[in-house]
Amino acid sequence: MNVLVDGLAPLLDPTVLVCLLAGLLVGTLVGAFPGVTGSMAVALAAGFTLTLEPVQGLAVLLTIYVGANYGDRIPSILVNTPGTPAAIATTLDGYPLAKQGKAGLALVASSFVTTGGILVSMAVFLLAARPIAQLALNFGPAEMFALVVFGLTVMISISSRSILKGVIAGIGGLAIATVGRDPVTGDERFVFGVNDLNSGLPFIAVIIGLFGIAELFDQLLVHRAHVLRPISSLGRWWPTRGELAQMRKPFALGSVIGTVVGIVPAAGGDIAGLIGWDRAKRMSKEPEKFGKGSLEGLAAADTSSSATLGGSLTTTMALGIPGDSVMAVMIGSMVIWGLQPGPSLFSNDPELVVTIAAIMIVATVLSLGISLVRMRGMVRLLDLPHHFLWAGILIFCVVGTYTTTNSMYTVWVMLGSGVLGLAMKRTGFPAGPVVLGLLLGPLAEANLRRTLLIDGPTALVTQPISAVLLVLALVGLATPIVARVRASRRAEAPSERPRAAAGRSR
């Protein structure tokens, strides 16, 4: 009880509240700014917070972390541009919902499941951080490889129209992921003497290009024809009871997936969102709606990517290993404050653990409040004449992308990816699998190579976690193909209901 009181007391300090609000403001703004990620904002803020008291500093940094996780959903839903990589999966159903005139509903639903996801994962942090963090240590290269391969099977389900085109796009993504230095030998691959290519294609620039800029080019080209109507109204705000019930299952699923993926070091909200979305689709009664504006899809994606926050925090504080890139910066700051994250933090300084959890929870609740209030302002933004709106988005994307490296090279990559994205859109190739390949390809390769260096190929099947994940991946690959075969057999027979089965294979 004393621990609880001592841990919560610092939050009553008005200066800590000011820090919370400052962090919240910065967080939601940078989250909504495509290209500027939570980790960049936390890193820059860390330079300033070093001079503060640890609790004040933590209040700023942790609320930026939380706030960014709300802000990044807004451009995903409204303009198909993920504010940060964690919101990639949000675009899959969020933007289609917005195009159907349900942007308000999507924003509100997203805020609620995001809040729920963080709170569930924080409960795990509070109740069982130390035992659960040990799970992270079991994730060596072999397990990581298997998890990533499992993630790659998502490619099949995000290929909404044609599996073939999706797989081709995915392989394209894997192929461009090989550009840069070999992860083990350091040899150059497809660098062609261009120094910038040594570190591979800048991931954030590519996703903004493929999603946001491609959409923007598309809108610009059809502007006169009025073929595509940009989102002009947010529509209804509150989900109906039926819609809430619909989101329950994907929410539960997303919470579990997000927390577990968050605990795994170096796997964050981007991967979790995609896996959560895919699993929810496979378990849904209406999988055919996924990718076309399904609330279930949105709920699954946003719950899982948000639940990684508590998972990452667990690994970071209980083991001293960063759970994601934001946490890496956080550890750096804490060490300078004289706080060493790791097992003894929980035994030596339990009050601080409570304070950290309290900051996260307060930040989450405040973020929910801010997002619900602020959304009304978004209506006015969308009332802008569309050429201003899209021009503004273009400027934001260029500036945001530029800041990731302070170099125009990244901006050219973004614009180039935009052109590629437009071409793919016009020919019916989905962008999701490309991003998936680019995101997971390097992880799959590096971890496979590490496994082979350390133990040789047998480790992949003899390690239980890795074996189970690989089997799940195989099942994930086989199910749609089996379903498709069965569907075509049924179609040959006097057809009764081919649509239900076909939906699975899509």
**Nearest-approach distance from CB 461 to another protein, in angstroms:** 16
**Nearest-approach distance from CB 256 to another protein, in angstroms:** 22
- Name the residue nearer to another protein (CB basis): 40 or 119: 40
- Name the residue nearer to another protein (CB basis): 141 or 311: 141
Q: Is 2 exposed, middle or buried (0-12, 13-18, 19+ CB in 10 A)?
A: exposed
Task: Give the bridge partners for 180, in sequence order.
Answer: 189
**Nearest-approach distance from CB 395 to another protein, in angstroms:** 21
User: Within a 13 Å sphere around the CA of 116, how many CA atoms are in the beta-carbon half?
Assistant: 23
Q: Give me the residues that bind another protein (CB under 8 A), please.
A: 14-15, 17-19, 22, 39-40, 42-44, 46-53, 56, 60, 136-142, 181-188, 195-199, 202, 265-266, 319-322, 328-329, 331-332, 335-336, 338, 340-344, 405-407, 446, 450, 453-454
All residues at 6 or more sequence positions from 449 whose CB lies less than 8 Å from its CB, including other chains: 183, 184
**Nearest-approach distance from CB 47 to another protein, in angstroms:** 5
**Nearest-approach distance from CB 198 to another protein, in angstroms:** 4
What residue type is assigned to position 220 of the chain? L
- Name the residue nearer to another protein (CB basis): 181 or 490: 181
**Nearest-approach distance from CB 261 to another protein, in angstroms:** 16
Cα(341)–Cα(347) distance, integer angstroms: 11
Give the start-end residues of each E strand in 356-473: none
Nearest 5°: the CA angle 496, 502, 505 is: 155
- Name the residue nearer to another protein (CB basis): 53 or 288: 53
**Nearest-approach distance from CB 381 to another protein, in angstroms:** 27
**Nearest-approach distance from CB 36 to another protein, in angstroms:** 11
- Name the residue nearer to another protein (CB basis): 184 or 478: 184
**Nearest-approach distance from CB 72 to another protein, in angstroms:** 18
Taking the mean position of all CA atoms in its chain, how far away is CA 154?
A: 14
Cα(274)–Cα(297) distance, integer angstroms: 10
Closest to 308 in 3D by CA, of 487, 15, 72, 141: 72
Reduced to 3 DSSP states, what percent helix, strand and coil does the chain have, rounded to the nearest 5?
80, 0, 20
- Name the residue nearer to another protein (CB basis): 111 or 308: 308
Q: Is 149 exposed, middle or buried (0-12, 13-18, 19+ CB in 10 A)?
A: buried
Cα(117)–Cα(114) distance, integer angstroms: 5
All residues at 6 or more sequence positions from 260 whose CB lies less than 8 Å from its CB, including other chains: 135, 311
- Name the residue nearer to another protein (CB basis): 50 or 222: 50
Closest to 308 in 3D by CA, of 292, 296, 323: 323
- Name the residue nearer to another protein (CB basis): 101 or 183: 183
What residue type is assigned to position 31 of the chain? G
- Name the residue nearer to another protein (CB basis): 320 or 498: 320
